Amino acid sequence: MTSLLELSGISKSFDGFQAINNLSLQIGEPELRAVIGPNGAGKTTFMDIITGKTKPDTGTILFGDDNRSLIGMSESDIASLGIGRKFQKPTVFEAQTVRENLAMALKNPRGPFSVLFYRKTKDGAARLDSIAEEINLTDHLQRPAGELSHGQKQWLEIGMLLAQSPRLLLVDEPAAGMTAHEREHTTDILKRAAQTCAVIVVEHDMEFVRRLNCKVTVLHEGSVLAEGSLDHVTKNPTVIDVYLGRTDAGH
Ligand SMILES: Nc1ncnc2c1ncn2[C@@H]1O[C@H](COP(=O)(O)OP(=O)(O)OP(=O)(O)O)[C@@H](O)[C@H]1O
């Protein structure tokens, strides 16, 4: 497994508060990685720094085969390198059908979805069908996205990101607000996605992380506290102390 993303010595403080503290971390390609940690550990800031939303004070971030430095790049330039982000709240075009939503994403690789019309090509149609299958929405292609359940909207948005052929997908708390059944499908979708691109999942739900069955990074006070399998990190006494033993761990 080669390294796709490499953060070294990243620090960021907000008004004197050290949110990210000398953080170093590597993600392979492809890889599925779960990032966990108590509230305020720096998980969101970590993703904001990768996507260029937040500029770090120090450190380096290298991405891709040619070790491109992401420091100083704009959010849109970083997105165009193939780094997609899925926020907690689904953002799909509610009035458009599932098919139209996916078609728009396919038509506009790695760009804003500005074109509302999709010229059907044989390749595009086959790709659309295969993504719909991947996200479990084949039977819902004709439905307006607004009619989908919360979980299905999340899947559709993941599908729209996959349509842009990302190399790295950042997914923020996908399990939140989902039914148990939807969570199960979501782990399958993320595992499948991670066969073709690197996927980083920030998640509070431990059962969900267990089902992802992947390497876990525990963040605490802006640094990596432990890394390895979920069983490995949850046996770490410091992890138990700062995170798992706390009643406020998770929402
Ligand atoms: N723009 C900002 N200005 C000031 N402080 C901030 C800012 N962004 C984050 N912080 C602080 O940095 C720390 C890390 O926040 P962050 O949101 O990255 O943690 P988190 O691990 O995502 O937490 P949660 O699990 O609650 O979402 C927190 O103490 C937060 O208050």
Across 14-35, b (16+ Cβ under 10 Å) vs e yields eeeeebbbebebbbebbbbbbb
pLDDT class of 246 with cuts at 50, 70, 90 = low
Kindly list the structural domains of the chain, giving each domain's residue range(s) and its CATH number in brackets, ordered by start. Answer: 2-91+167-244 (3.40.50.300)
pLDDT single digits (tens) 164-200: 999 999 999 999 999 999 999 999 999 999 999 999 9
The rounded distance, in Å, linking the Cα atoms of 95 and 76 is 26
Q: Which of 44, 49, 171, 202 to mutate to test the pocket of ligand 1 (most atoms within 8 A of CB)?
A: 44
pLDDT single digits (tens) 7-26: 999 999 999 999 999 999 99
pLDDT at 122: 53
Q: Which of 10, 11, 13, 17 to mutate to test the pocket of ligand 1 (most atoms within 8 A of CB)?
A: 17
HSE, CB side, 13 Å, CA atoms: give it for residue 25: 28
The rounded distance, in Å, linking the Cα atoms of 86 and 68 is 22
pLDDT class of 205 with cuts at 50, 70, 90 = confident
pLDDT at 116: 41
pLDDT at 186: 96
* Average pLDDT of every residue of the chain: 89
Q: Is the ipTM of this complex over 0.90?
A: yes
C-alpha distances out from residue 6 to 25, 67, 216, Å: 6, 9, 16
